[in-house]
C-alpha cells in the first residue's frame, strides 16, 4: 500500500467516525424530544383553565368596572370608557382564529395584561397566577399588543410636523398651557444617585433628597427653540 492509499484510507475512516458521531447526536436529541413529549401529561393546567371563573380580567376588572370606576382607572391607568375604546381599535389586530386545540385569548384580556405590565413593571412569572395566563404566553402577548398600539396610533399620535404652521401650532400650545415661549418639546431625564463632591452644598441634591449626577440633573427638562 503506497502513501496515497494510506492517506485516503485514513481520511475515509475519519469521515466515517464524524458521520457516526453526528448521527449519534441527532438520535440522542430526537430521543430527548420524544421523552419530553411523553412526560407532558396535560395540555393546559387545571388552574389556568379556570381563568373565566377566577382570573383578574373576568372577575376583578368586572367588579371594578361596575362598582368602583376610580379603582379601575388606578388599576389600568385609564377609565373604563377609554379602555373599551382602545380594545375596539386594537381588536382586528389582536383577534385570533378559534382552533380545535384551544380558544384564543380575548383581545380585551391581552390589552389588560399589557397595560398592567407597563403600569406596574411586574414580572411575567408573577403575573401568570393572578391573570391565569402562562408566563411565556404573556411575553408574546405584551409584544403583540405593543406592536398593535404602534401600528394603530402611529399616524394619529406620532405624526411629525409637516410644515411651518404645524411647528407654530406646537409652540402656541406650549405657550398657552405652560407659559413657555418657543418650545417644541421636552425631554425627561433619569436621576442617577451618586456621591456628591465635597464642598458643593446643595448643588447635587434633587427634590427627592439624594445626590445625583450633574450630567443627568441638567437634562430633567430640556426645551428647544424654533427660532
Residue 211's pLDDT is 65
Cell numbers at residue 78, please? 385609564
User: CA 40 to CA 109: how far, in whole Å?
Assistant: 27
Specify the pLDDT at position 209.
67
pLDDT digit string, tens, across residues 28-76:
888 888 777 655 555 678 899 899 999 999 999 999 999 999 999 999 9
**DSSP label of 186:** E
Q: What is the pLDDT of residues 11-32, one digit of tens each?
A: 778 888 888 888 888 888 888 8
Place of cell 448521527: 23
Read off the pLDDT of residues 79-125 as tens digits, 9 standing for 90 and up: 999 999 999 999 999 999 887 777 899 999 999 999 999 999 999 99
Do the Cβ atoms of 123 and 94 come closer than 8 Å?
A: no
pLDDT at res. 214? 45
Alpha carbon distance 39, 34 (integer Å): 9
The gap from C-alpha 129 to its chain's centroid, in whole angstroms, comes to 18
Element (H, E) at 187: strand 186-187
Q: Quick one: pLDDT at residue 164?
A: 92
How far apart are the C-alpha atoms of 163 and 97, rounded to whole Å? 43
Q: How sure is the predictor about 134, in pLDDT bands with cuts at 50, 70 and 90?
A: very high
What pLDDT score does 129 carry?
96
Phi, psi of 62 (to 5 degrees): -65, -40
DSSP string, 95-129: -----SS-PPPPHHHHHHHHHHHHHH---HHHHHH
The CA distance from 131 to 69, in Å, is 20
Q: What are the grid coordinates assigned to 153, written together?
A: 396610533
Q: Give me the pLDDT at residue 83, please.
A: 97
Report pTM: 0.61
Q: Please report the pLDDT score of residue 2 as a whole number.
A: 65
Amino acid at each position: 500500500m503506497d502513501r496515497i492509499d494510506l492517506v485516503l484510507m485514513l481520511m475515509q475512516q475519519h469521515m466515517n467516525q464524524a458521520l457516526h458521531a453526528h448521527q449519534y447526536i441527532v438520535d440522542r436529541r430526537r430521543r430527548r424530544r420524544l421523552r419530553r413529549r411523553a412526560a407532558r401529561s396535560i395540555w393546559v393546567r387545571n388552574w389556568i383553565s379556570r381563568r373565566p371563573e377566577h382570573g383578574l380580567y373576568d372577575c376583578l376588572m368586572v367588579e371594578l368596572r361596575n362598582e368602583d370606576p376610580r379603582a379601575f382607572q388606578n388599576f389600568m391607568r385609564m377609565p373604563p370608557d377609554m379602555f373599551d375604546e382602545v380594545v375596539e381599535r386594537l381588536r382586528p389586530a389582536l383577534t385570533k382564529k378559534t382552533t380545535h386545540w384551544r380558544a384564543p385569548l380575548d383581545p380585551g384580556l391581552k390589552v389588560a395584561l399589557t397595560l398592567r405590565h407597563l403600569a406596574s413593571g411586574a414580572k411575567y412569572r408573577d403575573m401568570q397566577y393572578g391573570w391565569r395566563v402562562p408566563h411565556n404566553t404573556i411575553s408574546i402577548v405584551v409584544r403583540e399588543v405593543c406592536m398593535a398600539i404602534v401600528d394603530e396610533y402611529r399616524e394619529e399620535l406620532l405624526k411629525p410636523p409637516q410644515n411651518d404652521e404645524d411647528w407654530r401650532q406646537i409652540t402656541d400650545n406650549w405657550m398657552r398651557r405652560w407659559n413657555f415661549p418657543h418650545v417644541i418639546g421636552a425631554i425627561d431625564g433619569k436621576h442617577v444617585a451618586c456621591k456628591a463632591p465635597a464642598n458643593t452644598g446643595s448643588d447635587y441634591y434633587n427634590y427627592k433628597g439624594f445626590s445625583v449626577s450633574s450630567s443627568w440633573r441638567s437634562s430633567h427638562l430640556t426645551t428647544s427653540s424654533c427660532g
